[in-house]
Chain A
Amino acid sequence: QVQLQESGPGLVKPSETLSLTCAVSGDSVNNHKWNWIRQPPGKGLEWIGYIDYSGSTNYSPSVKSRATISVDTSKNQFSLKLSSATAADTAVYYCARSIEGWELYDSTGFYYFDYWGQGTLVTVSS
Chain B
Amino acid sequence: QSVLTQPPSASGTPGQRVTISCSGSSSSLGRINVNWYQQSPGTAPKVLIYTNNRRPSGVPGRFSGSKSGTSASLAISGLQSEDEADYYCAAWDDSLNGWVFGGGTKLTVL
Contacts and interface: CB of A to CB of B under 8 A. Distances in A.
Contacts, number: 62
B51 A110 contact: yes
B45 interface: yes
A17 to B, nearest CB: 22
Most chain B CB neighbours (cut-off 10 Å) among A61, A112, A114: A112
26 contacts: A37-B99, A44-B2, A44-B101, A44-B102, A44-B103, A45-B45, A45-B101, A45-B104, A47-B98, A49-B98, A58-B98, A59-B98, A60-B99, A94-B44, A94-B45, A109-B33, A109-B51, A110-B33, A110-B50, A111-B92, A112-B47, A112-B50, A112-B51, A114-B56, A117-B44, A118-B44
A117 B51 CA distance: 22
User: Chain A interface mostly helix, strand, loop or mixed?
Assistant: strand
Interface of B: 2, 33, 35, 37, 43-47, 50-51, 54, 56, 88, 90, 92, 96-104
User: Chain B interface mostly helix, strand, loop or mixed?
Assistant: strand
A99 to B, nearest CB: 9
A49 to B, nearest CB: 8
A40 B90 CA distance: 17
A113 B17 CA distance: 26
A113 B37 contact: yes
A45 B46 contact: no
B88 to A, nearest CB: 6
Contact of B101 (A47, A59, A108, A117): A47
A112 B101 contact: no
Given A45-B88, A109-B51, A111-B92, A119 B44 contact: yes
Contacts of A46: 101
